[in-house]
Amino acid sequence: MNDVCEIPKNLDAEKAIIAILFNGPRSYDQIFSTIKPGHFSSDQNRELYQECFKQHSLGKPIDLITLSENIDVVYVTECLAYAGHSYTNLEFYIDEVMRTYRLRKLLGLGQEIQRYVIEKNACPEKISHKIEEEIINLAGKNTSPTYSIKELVDQFGNEEHYVQMRKSCIATGFLNFDRDIIVKPGDLIILAGRPSMGKTAFMLAVAKGAAKNDHTGLIFSLEMRSDYLLHRLAISEEPHKKGYEAYSGGCQRIYKLPLYITDESSLDIPKIRNRIRMLKSTLSLDVIFIDYLSLLDPPPAENRNLAIGEITRGLKLLAKEIDIPVFLLSQLNRKVEERNLKKPQLSDLRDSGSIEQDSDIVLFCYRPAYYGIETDQYGESVKNLLELIVAKQRDGKTGSIGFYYDLSSQSIESLIKEPAVAGE
């Protein structure tokens, strides 16, 4: 068996890119914004490309005269033999250089993993974490384009884009929610509360409402089995019925909703990312729900706070990467119970301040009846009140929204009836 591994490279593509630079400045932006010297496999190509970049940064032309002081002119001439390669093939050459670069990095990563594994006190968690980071870096784009305001207005400043952008915001069917909370693609939404405050019930209500508005949702349930969630979804559809009649009727009503549930109990960010990528190849996912933060497998970290920070940052990056909102349920710490006023606040977020920092929206579920409060300041009953406290919203106002919460059926209803437009 031959153990010698051929190093992935495409010297022709590397030389073609250099040659195209000699054809004139129209290729400069596309090449220099993507390809870096370290992406070349050949030392000569790397040095030549570096010198081309240097001349460009100095505002000088890229030609034999400017390069002859520091570069072997014979080798430059050899590269120029590729100058006939059409500019229209530039995308192919860039992709080839990047493809072989990533393969070399993966090969090097494999060799590095071998060295880690044979160490006396090798830590599988640290090795896995390093692999995950490297794979994410290699899979991602190398640069992000920068646009002027003029370019953005020319491209997006029209009614068609505005309407499409408004449609991309998640509508739940709850008039007060859709009026006051703007849920956009790429948002990380924290839904938090103490136990028995209705977090899961509210999540299911939002997921079901979004599905009824043609938004395909995926629920990661780390705490409850999928059949239990089905039961709660079904009976909440028939709050005025009991027993099997409510369950059966509810199942019929939600039968065709574009809503999916996975109840794998051991999940981390890489597993969630892979599951979403697999499903996105067959489904047009619009919103993700994760129940809940503390049950996610933490990455290697010095303490719990840092681990939670890694998770929330990872989920925010994931939401941005897949361009859909992610709802993340979270518990609050016990400090709430020690105060006279039990309403939660941002400082009550459990384990890490990064939860607040990484999120776009923070929502708290609060039920005054749980603490024995029967009426509000106006003497109105709050027995079935679920107060949704909007503690943070990057693109909207904060405050409170009231819902009717039937504990027996786990059904949630809006307390307002006037028409509203999501995000307005």
Reported as a single tens digit per residue, the pLDDT across 111-132 is: 877 777 777 666 776 677 667 6
pLDDT at 124: 72
Q: Say which residues have a Cβ less than 8 Å from residue 395's Cβ, sequence separation at least 6.
A: 182, 184, 360
Q: What is the mean pLDDT of residues 49-78?
A: 73
Q: What are phi and psi of 412, to 5 degrees?
A: -130, 135
pLDDT at 69: 67
11-139: what CATH class? mainly alpha
What would the pLDDT profile of 166-195 be if each residue is shown by its tens digit?
Answer: 777 899 989 889 989 999 999 999 999 999
Q: What is the mean pLDDT of residues 380-388?
A: 94
Cβ neighbours, 10 Å, residue 111? 11
pLDDT at 162: 74
Host H or E run for residue 201: helix 199-212
Q: For residue 79, give the 3-state DSSP assignment.
A: helix
Match 């059926």 to its residue by tokens: 409
Domain ranges within the chain, ordered by starting residue: 11-139, 165-414
- pLDDT band at 422, cuts 50/70/90? very low
Q: What is the mean pLDDT of residues 358-382?
A: 92
- Answer yes or no: is pLDDT of 259 > 90: yes
Q: Which CATH architecture has domain 165-414?
A: 3-Layer(aba) Sandwich (3.40)
Residue, of 237 and 91, whose pLDDT is higher: 237
Q: What is the DSSP track for 143-169?
A: ------HHHHHHHH-SHHHHHHHHHHS
- Answer yes or no: is pLDDT of 82 > 70: no
- Answer yes or no: is pLDDT of 14 > 80: yes
Nearest to 215 by CA among 287, 272, 146, 152: 287
Partners of 217 in beta bridges: 259, 287
The answer to whether 14 and 91 are in contact (CB under 8 A) is: no
Least confident of 201-205, 227-231, 278-282, 324-328: 278-282
Host H or E run for residue 250: helix 243-254
pLDDT at 1: 41
| Burial class of 162 by CB neighbour count within 10 A (0 to 12, 13 to 18, 19+) | exposed
Torsion angle of C-alpha atoms 150, 154, 156, 159, degrees rounded to 10: 130
What would the pLDDT profile of 86-96 be if each residue is shown by its tens digit?
Answer: 666 788 888 88
| Burial class of 284 by CB neighbour count within 10 A (0 to 12, 13 to 18, 19+) | exposed
Is the whole-model pTM more than 0.85? no
